[in-house]
A and B are shown apart, each in its own frame.
Chain A
Amino acid sequence: MEKSRYELNKELAQMLKGGVIMDVTTPEQARIAEEAGAAAVMALERIPADIRAAGGVSRMSDPKMIKGIQDAVSIPVMAKCRIGHFVEAQILEALEIDYIDESEVLTPADDVYHIDKTQFKVPFVCGARDLGEALRRVSEGASMIRTKGEPGTGDVVQAVHHMRVMNSEIRKVQNMRADELYEEAKQLQVPVELVRYVHENGRLPVVNFAAGGVATPADAALMMQLGAEGVFVGSGIFRSGNPAKRAKAIVQAVTNYTDAKLLAEVSADLGQAMVGINAEEIKTIMAERGQ
């Protein structure tokens, strides 16, 4: 009974559930994140808010920087490659990264094709705005999904929107007659087997996290109550007044996301939150990259 590499990769995502994955740009930040209770860190040169501010082309991080972070912590280390840039992914695999995020935060390298993720041994997480996108990424080999949200804004509205759309579409598929699944698969542009899985199980075939705009413990708990299985926090932590304290508070909020009293306690006195930008005011809509 040989289990496939893909199963093992989906299972690593299961181990991350109920956890917070934090963006870090230096070994020092990675240690702060680990100490605060991050379940994994995302190594990148610039957090999404700075990518947004700087403009220009944003690429995979320097391998030296990624290695520095791998050496600094004992928890899983993830890193981003550009959508469709399978050579960046090959380089990340050579670094033995624990998870690759084929991410809309970076400038896409291919305007049509995503990476054929079945060709890799290391796992991939991809962003999605709805059920069709999520299942298309799974059919390409993604073993974990996250909402796209709108990265680097500190505005949770798009993550909320994407999570609600995905879950309402899942409920719709769940309630279909079996003979309606073929047409649904056509509409979603995905293999019918994946639609059948959703129909029978009422969930995605892989773990689904929230990402893109989470800035406070309340944001994280909101996403969990809406059905996220864990949370990515990008710019929200190291763009705030007291990163260590805020990171720790978000970790606790994700564990006890329905306990308003505890959420009140951990939300108190966290210092300045990421200032953020209104998701309606921005020019570059990262969520529209890669359909």
Chain B
Amino acid sequence: MATVAILALQGAFAEHGRALDRLGADHFEIRQRSDLGKPFDALIIPGGESTVIGKLLMDLGLLSPLRDRIVKGLPVFGTCAGLIVLSKRVIGGTPSLATMDITARRNAYGRQLGSFHTEDRFGDLDKLPMTFIRAPCIDSVGDGVEVLSRVDGRIVAARQGRQLATAFHPELTDDLTVHRYFLEEIAGLRV
């Protein structure tokens, strides 16, 4: 049975838990260093405020151990703030885990009035619903990064090895495509 850890420092972590429940994947929350003692096969970094998550990763001593595990191949999926936390370069912010060779642009769509919902393609898959809340986008990607989605010409989902990042929030919709893609295609877990 696959176990997924959800980084639960701040933000919409419970929503990812509900998506995993529906896929039948076991999960638990990481709130501090002692939680890293439990075994897990994959990690999800939720939406929220990237400044808060980045700061708490540092203050709680989670930054280096998690970075080490991701660099060694731990499958990780970051949504919105999670995308920023994974990015090596951040326009309008500070890199945190910095494990993914992408450049994130914070608040790419402006303030809350710029938040929107749309449908678009994800990789080879059909169109799926995408919710952008004060979202970032990906300005550019390095070698070895596969672009999975573009919305209005902007990159909003990408994969590098076992790392997946989306600027939108699959956990806010009923559509489980992206979570299933992460667990099956990236983490190689059966659900």
Among candidates A1, A15, A35, A259, residue contacting B48 with C-beta atoms closer than 8 Å = A15
* Known A11-B172, A98-B134, A262-B32: A75·B49 in contact at CB below 8 Å: yes
Query: What number of residue pairs across chains A and B have CB atoms under 8 A from each other?
Result: 115
Partner of A15, one of B11, B92, B116: B11
Residue of B nearest to A266 (CB): B59
Please name the residue on chain B nearest to A36 by beta carbon.
B55
**A251 in contact with B52 (CB, 8 Å):** yes
Tell me whether A17 and B134 are in contact in the complex, defined as CB-CB below 8 angstroms, given that A39-B52, A75-B51, A251-B56 are known contacts.
no
When C-beta atoms are compared, the residue in chain B nearest to A123 turns out to be B112
* Dominant SS among interface residues on chain B: loop
A74 in contact with B93 (CB, 8 Å): yes
Mark each residue of chain A from 95 to 113: 1 if its CB lies under 8 Å from any CB of chain B, else 0: 0111100000000000000
A9 at the binding interface (Cβ < 8 Å): yes
A248 within 8 A of B: yes
Rounded to whole angstroms, the CA-CA distance of A9 and B134 in the bound complex is 10
| Chain A residues in 8 Å Cβ range of B129 | 1, 3
* Contact residues of A between 1 and 31, Cβ < 8 Å to B: 1-3, 7-9, 11-12, 14-19
Flag whether B180 is at the interface (Cβ < 8 A). no
Q: Does B27 contact A (CB under 8 A)?
A: no
In chain B, positions 103-122 with a C-beta closer than 8 Å to chain A are: 106-107, 110-113, 115-117, 119
> Please, how many angstroms separate the alpha-carbon atoms of A14 and B46 in the complex?
11
- Interface residue tally for chain B (C-beta within 8 Å): 39
B13 CB within 8 Å of chain A: yes
Taking a contact as CB atoms under 8 Å apart, the answer to whether B112 and A76 are in contact is: yes
CB distance from A79 to the nearest CB of B (A): 12
At the interface, yes or no: A40 with Cβ under 8 Å from chain B?
yes
On chain B, the residues within 8 Å of A38 by CB distance are 52
Residues B117 and A2 in contact, CB atoms below 8 Å apart: yes
Complex Cα spacing A14 to B169, Å: 11
Smallest CB gap from A248: residue in B: B59
The verdict on A256 contacting chain B, using a C-beta distance below 8 Å, is yes
A256–B115 Cα gap in the complex (Å)?
30
**Contacts A8-B115, A12-B115; A18 near B8 (Cβ below 8 A):** yes
B131: which A residues are within 8 A, CB to CB?
3, 8, 11
Interface string of A70-103 (1 = CB under 8 A from B): 0000111000000000000000000011110000
Within 8 A of A (CB), among B1-23: 8-15
How many whole Å from B79's CB to the nearest CB in chain A? 10
On chain B, the residues within 8 Å of A96 by CB distance are 110-113
Q: Chain B residues with Cβ under 8 A from A34's Cβ?
A: 51
Within 8 Å by CB of A14, from B12, B51, B92, B106, lies B12
B14, A17: Cβ atoms closer than 8 Å: yes
Residue A49 is within 8 A (CB to CB) of chain B in the complex: no
The reply to whether the CB of B31 lies closer than 8 angstroms to some CB of chain A is yes
Q: Are A252 and B52 in contact (CB under 8 A)?
A: no
Given contacts A11-B133, A17-B12, A251-B56, contact A98 B51 (CB under 8 A): no
**B157 located at the interface, meaning its Cβ lies under 8 Å from any Cβ of chain A in the complex:** no
CB-defined contacts of A14 to chain B, threshold 8 Å = 12, 15, 172
Q: Distance (Å) between the CB of A4 and the closest chain B CB?
A: 9
- The chain B residue with its CB closest to the CB of A259 is B32
Q: Which of A37, A74, A122 has the most CB of B within 10 A?
A: A37
Q: Which residues of B contact A291 (CB under 8 A)?
A: none
Residues of chain B contacted by A11 (CB below 8 angstroms) = 115, 131, 133, 169, 172
Partner of A98, one of B31, B59, B111, B119: B111
Q: How far is the CB of A175 from chain B (nearest CB, A)?
A: 23
The 7 closest A-B pairs by CB, nearest first: A3-B117, A18-B10, A98-B112, A37-B55, A8-B115, A39-B49, A14-B12
Query: Can you show 24 pairs from A to B with CB atoms below 8 A apart?
Result: A2-B117, A8-B115, A8-B117, A8-B133, A9-B112, A9-B115, A11-B172, A12-B115, A12-B133, A12-B134, A14-B172, A15-B49, A15-B133, A18-B9, A37-B51, A37-B52, A74-B107, A75-B51, A98-B112, A99-B112, A121-B113, A248-B59, A254-B10, A255-B56
Point out residues on A near B: beta carbons under 8 Å.
1-3, 7-9, 11-12, 14-19, 34-40, 74-76, 96-99, 121-123, 248, 251-252, 254-256, 259, 262
